[in-house]
Amino acid sequence: MKAIVFDVFGTIVDWRSSLIHQFSELEKELGIELPSEVLTDQWRHQYAPSMNRVRQGETPWVGLDDLHRESLVKLLNQQGIALDEATIDRVNHFWHQLDPWPDVQRGLQQLKEHYIIATLTNGNLSLMVDVARYAKLPWDMVFCAELFQHYKPDPEVYLGACRLLRLPPEEVMLCAAHNYDLRAARALGMKTAFIPRRTEYGPQQSKDLEAEEAWDFVAEDLVALSERLIG
């Protein structure tokens, strides 16, 4: 194995806590009620359906920043929250400022000493560059859906990253906190590593609490994974 590619939202960054905090800060600043947890959870609930419309050909290719904004406008209308266009753009940019899980920076640095490390994410390129800079993530490369004009779990995303690395799938491993993502990678011959993020969706999380299959590696966090791989 020569490279490890990582899912980002949920696996590397704690998007939920980060968004809730930013909504709360904006609420204080604007002096209006912004139900931060409800807005965060409902906004994320639109994530998969919006990408599926693109994956199924219902709409032409649209990057995740644009999908997020469409979902946000719809959500604000449903909640009866009036924000001007500049503030909507600012809220949409919340996704560019996400905090990493506590183990991430150390774990990635250790893995980077032995493997190529890169993202494999549905986020668009500028979004992922901003997240990497904000969270101080030491990627060698940023692979994202926008490069391949497909969203995961379409095979073009996984195989596209392998192709650009000039490595066969069996020499590339996907690390993710989501079993569906790992299933798609394994079906294409990639190696797999599961990292549980049991609070990604908050205290009521009911999925991805444990590995659902015998993935190549299962570890509690990235530091533990690096210790397993490197010794």
pLDDT at position 123 = 96
Burial track 127-143 (b if 16+ CB lie within 10 A, e otherwise): bbbbbbeebebebeebb
- At residue 64, the pLDDT reads 97
pLDDT of residue 188: 98
Domain boundary among 71, 96, 121: 96
In this prediction the pTM is: 0.96
Question: Is residue 206 predicted with pLDDT exceeding 80?
Answer: yes
Last residue of a domain, one of 77, 96, 115: 96
Average pLDDT score, the chain: 97
Question: Do 82 and 107 reside in the same domain of the chain?
Answer: no
Domain CATH for 30: 1.10.150.240
If you average pLDDT over residues 17-37, what whole number do you get? Answer: 95
Give the end-to-end CA distance of the chain in Å, rounded to a whole number: 15
Q: Are residues 103 and 189 in the same domain?
A: yes
Q: Cα 150 to chain center, whole Å?
A: 15
Indicate whether 122 and 33 sit together in one domain.
no
Q: How far apart are CA 74 and CA 56, in angstroms?
A: 21
Give residue 52's pLDDT. 93
pLDDT at residue number 13: 98
Encoded tokens for 115 = 């493997």
Q: In what order do the strands lie in the sheet containing 116-121?
A: 141-144, 116-121, 3-6, 172-176, 191-194, 217-218
Within this chain, do residues 222 and 162 fall inside the same structural domain, yes or no?
A: yes
Domain total of the chain:
2
* Residue 43 belongs to domain spanning: 16-96
Q: Summarize the confidence of residues 73-82 as an average pLDDT.
A: 94
* pLDDT above 90 (res 62): yes
